[in-house]
Amino acid sequence: MRPVLLVAAQRTSTALLLARAAARRGLETYTLTGPHTLAALTGRPVHWYGGPLTADRVAGPAGLGLLEPPDDWLVRLPREFTARRIELTTLARAWTLPRPAFVKPPGDKSFPAAVYADGSRLPRTGERLGPDTPVLVGEVVHFAAEYRLFLLDRAVAAGSRYAVHGVLDVAPLAGERYERQVRRFAGRLLAAAGDLLPSAVTVDVGLLREPGTGRGRWAVVEANMPWFSHSYAAPPDAVLDVVLRAAGPLGRVSPADRPFLRPERPERPERSVGRE
């Protein structure tokens, strides 16, 4: 049966680009507007692009296997690839932070990833948050330039610059001034830690400026799910290849990728926070 790209009702520029790329290769695109949408797709191979909270609700009925990087991936990386202190902890512990820190949820964007002056500025217990919510706490650093890489089978399938000095500044990776350095760093990263990631994943990397020296150092910013990552200026057809692998029929997930399947989560109301 003809495969389907299912997208969230809240359409984004990336979803529109992926829908056009999907049409070029014979996939139909459906917008999720309610239970009747899933009912109409019964028995068809479905792929997903959209938010993780909605994905948790539709994964079972749609038969989806959703790949995501482990919560502790950044923590497990050798320091040469992070260039800063990073800890995986709980929101309750993060509330006690006495100093500025960069704090983010590992994957579901349940609150904004940002530099918080101290733990008291972090969100408190709410409908979607609790003391045991996992968070990544990192040393505050400054990235001079940041790039999004869509990785497939331990290779860069597509990429884009998305920020310069923390300000949105989008440009294609191809021909960009740091393209060779980005690809070289990604190659070293994947050679050293590629087995810690699923076969389809999004990894952001950036150039850190060392204060007072003018020198730069490449480091990993974070890893994300391709099925909820903005493509920026990356080629949509190549991005679609990564999305289709990362969010497709559960029965097609390879044994090597099964440890990276997103576990079932209780239903929660959806709200998009921060960048895709």
Q: What is the pLDDT of residues 8-42, one digit of tens each?
A: 998 899 999 999 999 999 999 999 999 999 999 99
**Same domain, residue pair 57 and 12:** yes
Per-residue pLDDT at 110? 77
pLDDT at 107: 73
- 269 falls within a domain: no
Distance (Å, whole) CA 173 – CA 177: 8
Which pLDDT tens digit goes with each residue over 118-176? 999 998 865 567 888 899 999 999 999 999 999 999 999 999 999 999 999 999 999 99
Burial of 226 (C-beta count, 10 Å sphere; 0-12/13-18/19+): buried
The answer to whether residues 134 and 145 belong to one domain is no
Domain that holds residue 112: 86-138
pLDDT top residue among 276 and 161? 161
Beta bridge partners of 248: 65
* pTM value surpassing 0.95: no
For 215-240, write each residue's pLDDT tens digit. 789 999 999 999 999 999 999 999 99
Judged on CB neighbours under 10 Å (0-12, 13-18, 19+), 150 is: buried
Q: What pLDDT is recorded for position 274?
A: 34
Among 138, 166, 200, the domain-final residue is 138
The residues near 88 (Cβ < 8 Å, ≥ 6 apart) are: 71, 72, 74, 75, 106, 134, 135, 136, 137
Per-residue pLDDT at 272 exceeds 50: no
Winning range, highest mean pLDDT, from 88-102, 146-160, 256-270? 146-160
Instruction: Look at the block and give the residue holding tokens 């021909």.
Output: 175
Residue with the larger pLDDT of the pair 273 and 262 = 262
- Phi, psi (5° rounding) for residue 196? -90, 5
How far apart are the two ends of the chain, measured CA to CA in Å? 31
Residues 132 and 188 in one domain: no
Same domain, 204 and 178: yes
Range list of β-strands (E), the chain: 4-7, 28-31, 46-49, 64-66, 86-90, 101-104, 114-116, 134-138, 143-152, 156-164, 167-172, 200-209, 216-224, 247-249
CATH label of the domain that carries residue 165: 3.30.470
CB 226 within 8 A of CB 247: yes
Does residue 267 carry a pLDDT above 60? no
Task: Supply the mean pLDDT for the chain.
Answer: 91
With respect to residue 267, please indicate whether it lies within any of the assigned structural domains: no
Q: In which band, very low, low, confident or very high, does the pLDDT at 270 lie, cut at 50, 70 and 90? A: very low
Supply the pLDDT for residue 111: 84
Per the structure, the count of domains in the chain is 3
For residues 151 and 129, state if they share a domain. Answer: no
Residues whose CB falls within 8 Å of the CB of residue 116, separated by 6 or more in sequence, listed in order: 97, 100, 101, 102, 103, 122
Among 190, 156, 197, 151, which residue's Cα sits nearest to residue 176? 156
Kindly state the DSSP code that residue 38 receives in the 8-state scheme: H
